[in-house]
Amino acid sequence: MIILMSRKSVKSIQNILNEAETYLSNMLEKDLITISKSAYTQARNKIKYEAFIELSNDIKEQFYQEYEYEKYKGFRLLGVDGSMIILPSNEDTKKEFSTTNVKNQYKDKDKEIAQARVSVLHDLLNNIVVDATISDSKTHEINITIDEHLKEVKEEDLIIFDRGYPSYRLFATINSKYKANYLIRMKKNMYNKYTNILFDKESDIDDITVTIKPTYKELTDLTHSSIKVTLDKRFD
């Protein structure tokens, strides 16, 4: 069942089931009855989702323990990104995830849909999913990274983030708990005091190391009263 569910194919489910039936019949040297889509659905419902998490973790651990994997200048190169997805609309998904109303092009009444946020920590050079999660759409991607993804990083990792991630809390958490390296794309106006110098047409300065401090609310949750980061325009 897990092999059938994991198989990526453009064929219809029934064609895949027919192929599986033929394979099993030849292997067992016995004629089997046709596997119906209904039987497949019923059998699929008996499998717990945790089985796929365990299988994914086993594959990941085996890969890093037994193979020479590709690195970038000695770093395991990781990328973090998230996206919003629309879920099947039923009572279970609406109960578990936040809902939103969207315009229905065929009716005057808006349609209520369930949404979720998916987020992935990905080994960019080896095409391995290091960690993945699906959360309520209202959960911020920074919180997902801190609460879930960072548990999988190590000191020799270089994590790349996009513009939605710059946060003092994220910087301080990586610095204090995980000691990993990170590269974050930022808007030019995020630290105007310094970026105005970097991007001045007359300036020959490529990077500036600055000290940033948390807000009062951030300070109550963190042990760092300030941290140093380097702003570099050469990645622009």
10-19 residue pLDDT tens: 888 889 898 8
pLDDT tens readout for residues 121-157 = 999 999 999 999 999 999 999 999 999 999 999 999 9
pLDDT tens readout for residues 165-191 = 988 889 889 988 898 999 998 887 777
Q: Which residues contact 143 (CB under 8 A, 6 or more apart)?
A: none
Across residues 89-99, what is the average pLDDT? 88
Q: In whole numbers, what is the pLDDT of the chain averaged over residues?
A: 86
Residue 161: band (very low, low, confident or very high) from pLDDT cuts 50, 70, 90: very high
Torsion angle, alpha carbons of 169, 175, 179, 181, to 10: 80
Element holding 217 (H helix, E strand): helix 216-221
Q: Say if residues 83 and 117 touch (Cβ distance below 8 Å).
A: yes
pLDDT tens readout for residues 196-234 = 888 888 888 888 888 877 776 665 555 556 788 888 877
Tokens of 195: 């970026």
Across residues 31-48, what is the average pLDDT? 89
User: Per-residue pLDDT for 108 more than 90?
Assistant: no
